[in-house]
């Protein structure tokens, strides 16, 4: 007997203002099951160590990756388990399932897939011909899992859901990272609840760089903080005081929306021993009605900063590829330069 199970995702697209929206082709993985009746036991793999991973997940002091996997499996199993498998699959049946790429793209989630399989059934054997971050092509068979049929089928959907989401993010990230080089692509905190570490892991696999993980690991002074504090200078001064009083050392970033704010930040920094490490230039790439972008404000802001601080450009996706060329043309990357994605997916 044999069968095919496949997963189709919604297309991930980058939308321009006037031209038709270019689309990132769907990244689809299917699982082909070749079934054989056997009562033979299989040898399980030991629990995974992050040390053996091609790309390690980002760190987080409280995030429970194993707990997220258990939650994903539990929402599928409910309070009864897989009633269809229990009704149709003999307990002694074994299968070998193959991972088949249905589109070109960056594969991501291999390490996480192994963790899911191990959580469902430690006796399952998993082998790969590719690793996280490799570019694979449609039709390539790049992995297999073998063992108890019930365990493979129960794990299959959760594994594919994680891998397809992560592969889509990694593929889009790589496209943007390649276009923006030598600037570096960052993501934001605008991730799916509970999946932040998974999403940010996929960004790393795709060649991007993680921004702050949450509210705890970096000071990021945004427009709301500036308004409440009574101005950008007051906001930075308050942060400097707080960090000094609490003996904390961490990166400090401030958002600027105008050239006047950039000048104010630089003036404060020139007169004070500040903790400030990075300046964000928020939406200073202005879309034009003809589909191009105006970067004159951005160019002037970068010239003002002149390498004194890490500089981050925040913009909508529709500007990324055009502005990436601008980044190279202006030679804005001397040591460190970042482009932040306002929306990744």
Active site residue 308: no
Half-sphere exposure of 8 (CA within 13 A, CB side): 2
Tell me the helices (H) and strands (E) count for the chain, helix number first.
Answer: 10, 17
Q: Which two tokens stand for residue 333?
A: 């990357």
Catalytic residue of the set 23, 190, 263, 308: 190
Q: Which two tokens stand for residue 164?
A: 């397809």
CA dihedral 79, 80, 81, 86 (to 10 degrees): 180
Catalytic residue of the set 131, 157, 209, 322: 157
For residue 247, what are the contacts with CB-CB under 8 A and spacing of at least 6?
none
Active site residue 190: yes
Q: Which two tokens stand for residue 34?
A: 């070749």
Q: Could you give the angle at the alpha carbon of 194 between the alpha carbons of 192 and 198, nearest 5°? A: 75
Q: Which two tokens stand for residue 284?
A: 């200073």
Residue 120 CA from chain centroid, whole number: 25
Catalytic residue of the set 94, 187, 253, 282: 282
Nearest to 112 by CA among 31, 24, 183, 205: 205
Q: Give Cα separations from 45 to 68, 211, 324 (angstroms).
A: 21, 34, 44
Dihedral pair phi/psi, residue 146, rounded to 5°: -135, 150
Nearest to 252 by CA among 337, 312, 296, 182: 312
Catalytic residue of the set 26, 32, 222, 257: 222
Catalytic residue of the set 255, 261, 312, 340: 255
Nearest to 29 by CA among 206, 151, 171: 171
Active site residue 322: no
Catalytic residues: 157, 190, 222, 255, 282
């Amino acid at each position: 007997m044999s069968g095919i199970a496949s997963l189709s995702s919604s297309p991930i697209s980058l939308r321009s203002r006037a031209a038709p929206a270019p689309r990132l082709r769907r990244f689809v993985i299917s699982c082909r099951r070749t079934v054989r009746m056997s009562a033979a036991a299989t040898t399980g793999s030991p629990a995974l160590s992050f040390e053996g991973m091609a790309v390690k997940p980002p760190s987080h002091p409280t995030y429970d990756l194993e707990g997220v996997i258990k939650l994903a499996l539990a929402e599928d199993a409910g309070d009864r388990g897989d009633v269809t498998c229990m009704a149709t699959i003999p307990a002694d049946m074994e299968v070998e399932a193959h991972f088949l790429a249905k589109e070109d793209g960056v594969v991501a989630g291999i390490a996480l897939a192994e963790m899911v399989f191990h959580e469902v059934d430690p006796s399952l054997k998993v082998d790969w011909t590719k690793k996280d971050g490799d570019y694979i092509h449609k039709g390539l068979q790049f992995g297999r899992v073998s063992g108890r049929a019930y365990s493979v089928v129960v794990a299959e959907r959760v594994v594919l859901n994680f891998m397809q989401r992560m592969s889509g993010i990694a593929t889009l990230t790589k496209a943007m990272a390649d276009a923006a080089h030598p600037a570096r692509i960052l993501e934001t905190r605008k991730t799916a609840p509970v999946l932040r570490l998974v999403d940010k892991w996929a960004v790393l696999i795709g060649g991007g760089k993680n921004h702050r993980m949450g509210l705890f690991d970096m000071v990021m002074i945004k427009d709301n903080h500036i308004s409440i504090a009574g101005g950008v200078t007051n906001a930075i001064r308050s942060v400097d005081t707080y960090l000094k009083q609490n003996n904390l050392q961490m990166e400090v970033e401030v958002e600027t929306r105008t050239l006047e704010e950039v000048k104010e930040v630089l003036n404060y920094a020139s007169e004070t021993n500040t903790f400030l490490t990075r300046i964000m230039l928020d939406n200073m790439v202005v879309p034009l009605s003809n589909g191009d972008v105006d970067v004159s404000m951005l160019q002037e802001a970068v010239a003002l900063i002149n390498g004194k601080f890490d500089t981050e450009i925040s913009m909508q996706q529709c500007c990324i590829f055009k502005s990436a060329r601008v980044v190279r043309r202006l030679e804005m990357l001397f040591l460190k330069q970042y482009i932040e994605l306002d929306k990744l997916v």
